Amino acid sequence: MDMDRLFSTRVPPAGDRHRLFHGRGGEPGGPRWLTLDRYPPVLVATLFSEPPADVLDWLRGSAPAYLAALGCDTLLLQHRYGGVVHNEVVAGALPAEPLAREQGLVYRLDFGRGQNIGFFGDMIAARAWLRERAAGKRVLNLFAFTCSFSVAALAGGAEHVVNIDMSGAALKLGRENHRLNGLDPRRADFLPYNLFRSWKKLHSLGRYDLVVIDPPSKQKGSFIAERDYRRVVRQLHRLLRPEADILACLNAPWLGEDFLDETLSGNLPGSRRVARLPAAPGFEEPGGDPALKVIHYRYTRPALASGKDS
């Protein structure tokens, strides 16, 4: 396995691109168990299965020589195998305040969280889409995590964003993301609630012009896509304004786009598919349905037989 060649062919990307190598997408010239993500000054190498001993030795001993050419000085190996996630710094040191930078905005990274570092680089296109359409709108951010969608929406001029997530720790990092970008905290709510017990609360805060749905695909005790996505969509008619937009996201290789199409059409009368957003740079996957689906739907409230709105 020619790891020297793999690393030597990586170059600092132009524009907002975080992923340098996407082995899981079948990119030639490297192992499927490896991805490389760049958040200067940190390069993150994620290992999805245990590499051969000589390759692991190379990553620890020789890979750091390539950091300077990539504008980095720190190499972190994230081991995601054996049932335990372990982050290992093998060169340099993590900055006191590590950040992801994208379209003039910054997002705090937390390398102490384990698998999720607080930011998803594959959502570049989705954040840009939201920012372009958010001006003057009320936005509902479901499964908000660290609120990167909220940051993008408010940067785009959203009137107000409501973020809801079960993790208070994630929302705390979300508040920090708003502070780092100089956003008015009065224009956002951060609700550490179980969504399925909070519909009345969300309704009491008003109706929304735009809803982002970005749940985990399979999280025991919290959300299972095949069972719970439709439960979310069935409630949206109570939360949406007569005309609204929905950005439905799902990262599940075993479910195709038709799952989202059928979930929306079967559980939210008045919704129609507009377009699927393109993959983020570096995350392209050849052939078939991509693991990550991000689809824009447009909602127009249907009239009841009585002629009144639902």
| 49 and 133, same domain (yes or no) | no
**For residue 279, is it within any domain?**
yes
Report how far residue 52's alpha carbon sits from residue 306's, in angstroms, rounded to the nearest whole number: 68
Does residue 142 contact residue 164 with C-beta atoms inside 8 Å? Answer: yes
| 145 and 73, same domain (yes or no) | no
| 165 and 253, same domain (yes or no) | yes
Average pLDDT over residues 112-136: 93
**For residue 12, is it within any domain?**
yes
Rg (CA), the chain: 20
**For residue 103, is it within any domain?**
no
Tens digit of each residue's pLDDT (9 = 90 or more) over 3-21: 999 999 998 887 788 999 9
| 268 and 180, same domain (yes or no) | yes
Confidence of residue 45 (pLDDT cuts 50, 70, 90): very high
| 155 and 219, same domain (yes or no) | yes
Q: How many domains does the chain have?
A: 2
**For residue 116, is it within any domain?**
no
Predicted local confidence at residue 307, as pLDDT:
47
CATH code of residue 148 = 3.40.50.150
| 292 and 147, same domain (yes or no) | yes
Torsion angle, alpha carbons of 251, 252, 255, 256, to 10? 40
Interaxial angle between packed helices 148-155 and 124-133, expressed in degrees from 0 to 180 and rounded to the nearest 10: 40
φ/ψ of residue 131, rounded to 5: -60, -35
Residue 304 has pLDDT above 50, yes or no: no
Predicted local confidence at residue 289, as pLDDT:
73
Report how far residue 267's alpha carbon sits from residue 272's, in angstroms, rounded to the nearest whole number: 11
Residue 117 has pLDDT above 80, yes or no: yes
- What separation in angstroms does the CA of 13 have from each of 9, 38, 151, 284, 303? 12, 9, 23, 15, 50
φ/ψ of residue 67, rounded to 5: -65, -45
DSSP letters along 93-141, please? Answer: ---SS-EEEETTEEEE--TTSSS--S--GGGHHHHHHHHHH-TT-EEEE
**For residue 308, is it within any domain?**
no
Average pLDDT over residues 133-144: 98
DSSP code, position 215: -
Interaxial angle between packed helices 168-180 and 148-155, expressed in degrees from 0 to 180 and rounded to the nearest 10: 30
| 286 and 234, same domain (yes or no) | yes
| 58 and 129, same domain (yes or no) | no
| 135 and 231, same domain (yes or no) | yes
Does residue 59 contact residue 90 with C-beta atoms inside 8 Å? Answer: yes
| 8 and 46, same domain (yes or no) | yes
Predicted local confidence at residue 1, as pLDDT:
66
**For residue 39, is it within any domain?**
yes
| 267 and 169, same domain (yes or no) | yes
Predicted local confidence at residue 290, as pLDDT:
83
Structure tokens of 175?
């508040």
Q: Single out the residue of 277, 290, 292 nearest to residue 247, CA to CA.
A: 277
**For residue 105, is it within any domain?**
no
Instruction: Supply the mean pLDDT for the chain.
Output: 92
Domain boundary among 96, 113, 139: 96
∠ CA 196-199-200 to the nearest 5 degrees?
Answer: 140
Report how far residue 19's alpha carbon sits from residue 157's, in angstroms, rounded to the nearest whole number: 28
Q: What are the residues whose beta carbons fall under 8 Å from the beta carbon of 278, sequence distance 6 or more?
A: 125
Domain enclosing residue 67, as ranges:
3-96
Domain boundary among 96, 130, 159: 96
Tens digit of each residue's pLDDT (9 = 90 or more) over 267-285: 999 999 999 999 898 888 8
**For residue 277, is it within any domain?**
yes
SS3 at position 142? strand
Residue 287 has pLDDT above 80, yes or no: no
DSSP code, position 149: H
Tens digit of each residue's pLDDT (9 = 90 or more) over 179-193: 999 999 999 999 999
- The amino acid that residue 296 corresponds to is H
| 263 and 129, same domain (yes or no) | yes
Is cis: bond before 64, omega within 30 of 0? no
- What separation in angstroms does the CA of 261 have from each of 5, 48, 63, 286? 42, 30, 43, 21
